[in-house]
Chain A
Amino acid sequence: MTRKILIVEDDDDTASFVERGFAEQGYAVDRTGDGREGLFLATDRAYDAIVLDRMLPGLDGISVLKALRAAGVVTPVLILSAMGALDERVRGLRDGSDDYLVKPFAFVELHARIDALIRRGASRDEAAPTRLQIADLEMDLLARKVTRGGKAIPMQQREFQMLEFLMRHAGRVVTRTMLLEGVWNYHFDPQTNVIDVHISRLRQKVDKDFDVPLIHTVRGSGYKLAVEE
C-alpha cells in the first residue's frame, strides 16, 4: 500500500527537497504552499501523515493544526519550523502536533520521524503489546525482562528503555535525536557521541554473543534494529 503524505510548506526549495525525498522512498506526495489550501486538503483526503510548516501564507501552521484537530482529523502531524526554541516545540506539541523538527534538518531525520509517526498511527488501535519480539530477541514489557535465544540478558533501566525504543521501531531508522527524545526526554543536541556509546554498550549485550547482529548502524542517520538479509 502506498503511503500518502501531505507537505504544507511555502518555501519552494525545502518543499521540493522533501517532496523528492519522500517520492524516492515510494510515498505519494501532495504539496501546497498555502495554509488554507493545506487545511482543505488535510480535511478532504486521507493522508498517512502531514508535514506542516509553521510560517505559512494564508493561515499559519499552528492555526491549521488547531483547525484540523478541532475538526476531528487525527492524521499524525509533524511540524517543521525554523523557530528552534524549545518552547516553540512544547507549544506545537501541546497544540496537537505529534512531532516537531527544527530547520535545517536532514531528510533522513524527517523520514525516520514520519515513518515512526505513521507506524504509531497504524498501531494506535491495537491493544498495547506486553511482549515485543524481533527474530530470537524477546522483550517482556511487564516483567521487564529481555531474552535472546532463550538466554536472559540482564539490563539496566536505560538499556532496557533504549532497546524497547529500538524494538518498537523495528525495521526503521531511529536517529540519535529520536533516541535522546524517546529515552531521556531531552530535546537538545548532545555535542558528543554520547548516544553512540550507549548503543555500543547495548550491542555488547544484545549482539556480541550471537551470530546474527540485530542492531545496525545506518550510515549518516542513526540506528536500526532489524534482521538484515
Chain B
Amino acid sequence: MATVGPVRWWRSITVRLALASALMSTLSIGVVFGLLYWRAVGVVEDQAADTVGSEIRSLAEHHGDSGMIGLVQSVQERSAGSSVAEPVYLVVDRFGTRLAGNLLAWPPTVVPDGAWRKVELYRRGDDRPMLIGARAMPLAGGSLLLVGRALEGRVEIQEAIGEAVLWSLVALWAMTVGGGVLLSRTILRRVDEVAAINREVMVGELGRRVPVRGSGDEFDRLASSMNSMLARIESLMTGMRTVTDSIGHDLRSPLTRLRSRLERARDAGGSEVERERALDGAMMEVEATLDLLGRLLEIARAESGLQRGQMAEVDLAAVAADIVDLYAPTAEESGIAVEATAGRPVPVSGHAELLAQAVSNLIDNATKYARSRIRVDVVEDGGMARLAVVDDGPGIPEEDRERAAERFVRLDPSRTGRGAGLGLSLVAAVARLHGGTLQLSDAEPGLRAELMLPAGVAPPVG
C-alpha cells in the first residue's frame, strides 16, 4: 500500500498553478510595457519633430526679417545656453562653411528638404553616438539651416519603463509566491484535514467525519460526499459486526443443542428408539442452522447488488398473487384469512425471485402475528409500485419500527418460534436493491408493511 504523506507545498497543485499564472502574467506585462514603450517613444519623437519644425520655421522667418547676421546671432544664443547640447543647431553658407551652431560639420545624410530625419552624431569628447532627430532647410542665398533635438528622452523612457517592468515583476512575483503559499497552505490544511480523517478511519475510527464548513465550496462538496461514503461504510461495518456477533450467538445455541443431542445419542445405551430420536433432533438442529446461514447469505446477496444485471420486467401484482396462493392455505390453517386485491398488472424492473422472496417474507411475517386476517394490496401510485401487506396483529410500536428491519432483531424477546429475525431485513435489502424502500406503519390495529419500488421498467436508481 502506498503511504500518502502530507502534501508539501512544492508538490502542491496550487503552487504549480500559481507559478504557471505568474509566468503568464510576466508575459503579459512584457507585452503591455513593450506596447507602452513603443507608443511613448513615438509620442516623444512626434513632439520633438513638431518642436523642431516650428523652431526651424521661426528661425527661417528670422533670417528673412533680420538677415544672416540676425540668424547667426540668434542661433549662437540658443546653442550657447545648452551645454548638454540637447538642441542642435547648424547654419552653413553655400560653401558648407559653418557660420553658427553647436555642430562641427554638416551631417552627410541630412538633406535640406524640411523632412524629419534621425541621425546618429558624435559629440565632442564623447565616443558614444547620440541619436538626433533633425530637420534642415535651405535659406535664401544658398545657406543651409539645421535644427535638431537629441532623442535621449527615448533612453529615459526606456529606463523608466524598464524600471516599471522590474518593479511590476517584483510585485507580481511577490504576490504570486505569497498568494500561492497562502492559498496552498489554506488548501493544504483542508486536504491534510481530510487525509488525517481518512487515516483515522483507516485505523478503525469509523465514526469520524470530515468537517463541513457550510460554505458550499468544492471542499464542502467533497467533504459531504466523503461523509456519506463513510456513513455507508460505517453502517456496512456495523451491520457486518452485528451479523458476525449475532451469527456467533445464533449458531452457538443450535450447535450446543446439536452437541448435546449427539452426546445423548452416543450415550443412549442399547435403546435404538432413543438413539434414533436423538439423531432426528440433531438433524433438525442442523437443518435450522443451515437455514439460518442460507438466509444470511440471501441477505448478503441482495445487499451486494450483484443481481443488477438480472433485472427484468416483473409484474409485482402477479408475484404477490403467486405468493398469496402459496401461503394462503398455511395461514388459513391457523385461522387467518388472506385477502388479496386482484388488480391490474403493476410492472416493475426487478429480480422476480428476490421480489417473490421478499413478498413471501412479508406474508410469512404477517401470518405469524395476524389475529384473523391479512390483506395484500398492490397498486401503482404516483410512479411508485406499492405492495402493502397489512395484518391485524399487535403491530410494532413506533419506536421499534426502524429497528425492526435490522438483522437479527426480534422485537419480541420471548418469542421462541422459528425465525432468526431476518425476514424484514431481507425485505429491506431487496427494496434497497431495487431503489425502493420498506416502510412499516400502524394499520390500527396491526402492522402495515409496505414495499415501495419505482414503477415501470426503467432501470433502478441508486
Contacts and interface: CB of A to CB of B under 8 A. Distances in A.
A186 B356 contact: yes
A189 interface: yes
Contact of A87 (B291, B310, B364, B419): B310
Contact of B310 (A90, A188, A198): A90
A187 interface: yes
A189 B291 contact: yes
Given A86-B307, A87-B310, A90-B310, A192 B294 contact: no
A104 B290 CA distance: 8
11 contacts: A84-B294, A85-B306, A86-B301, A86-B307, A86-B310, A87-B309, A180-B326, A186-B353, A189-B291, A191-B291, A192-B418
Given A86-B354, A87-B310, A191 B326 contact: no
A82 to B, nearest CB: 10
Contacts of A90: 310
A220 B279 CA distance: 12
A194 B330 CA distance: 6
Contacts of A190: 326-327, 360, 364
B245 interface: no
Interface residues on A, range: 20 to 34
Nearest to A104: B290
A223 to B, nearest CB: 15
Interface in A2-27: none
A40 interface: no
A192 B418 CA distance: 9
B327 A194 contact: yes
Nearest to B333: A197
B298 interface: yes
B322 interface: yes
A201 B329 contact: yes
B457 interface: no
Interface string A159-200: 000000000000000000000100010111111111001100
A85 B367 CA distance: 27
Interface of A: 84-87, 90, 104, 158, 180, 184, 186-194, 197-198, 201, 220
Contacts of A84: 294, 297-298, 301
Interface of B is mostly: helix
Interface string B299-312: 00100001101100
A85 B301 contact: yes
A194 B309 CA distance: 31
Contacts of A191: 291, 360-361, 364, 418-419, 423
B174 interface: no
Nearest to B319: A186
B255 to A, nearest CB: 15
A94 to B, nearest CB: 12
Contacts of B61: none
B287 to A, nearest CB: 8
B356 A198 contact: no
B20 interface: no
A13 to B, nearest CB: 15
B330 A193 contact: yes
A186 B354 CA distance: 10
Given A87-B309, A104-B290, 8 more contacts: A84-B294, A84-B301, A85-B306, A190-B364, A191-B418, A194-B327, A197-B333, A198-B326
Given A85-B306, A192-B367, A197 B294 contact: no
A30 to B, nearest CB: 29
B426 to A, nearest CB: 10
B357 interface: yes
A190 B367 CA distance: 13
B107 to A, nearest CB: 100
B283 interface: yes
Contacts of A158: 325
A194 B353 contact: no
A198 B325 CA distance: 10
A87 B307 contact: yes
Contact of A188 (B309, B325, B360): B360
A187 B353 contact: yes
A71 to B, nearest CB: 29
Q: Which of A187, A189, A194 has the most CB of B within 10 A?
A: A194
A188 B357 contact: yes
B277 to A, nearest CB: 13
Contacts of A86: 301, 307, 310, 351, 353-354
A221 to B, nearest CB: 11
A192 B364 contact: yes
A41 B329 CA distance: 47
A184 B326 contact: yes
Contacts of B322: 184, 186
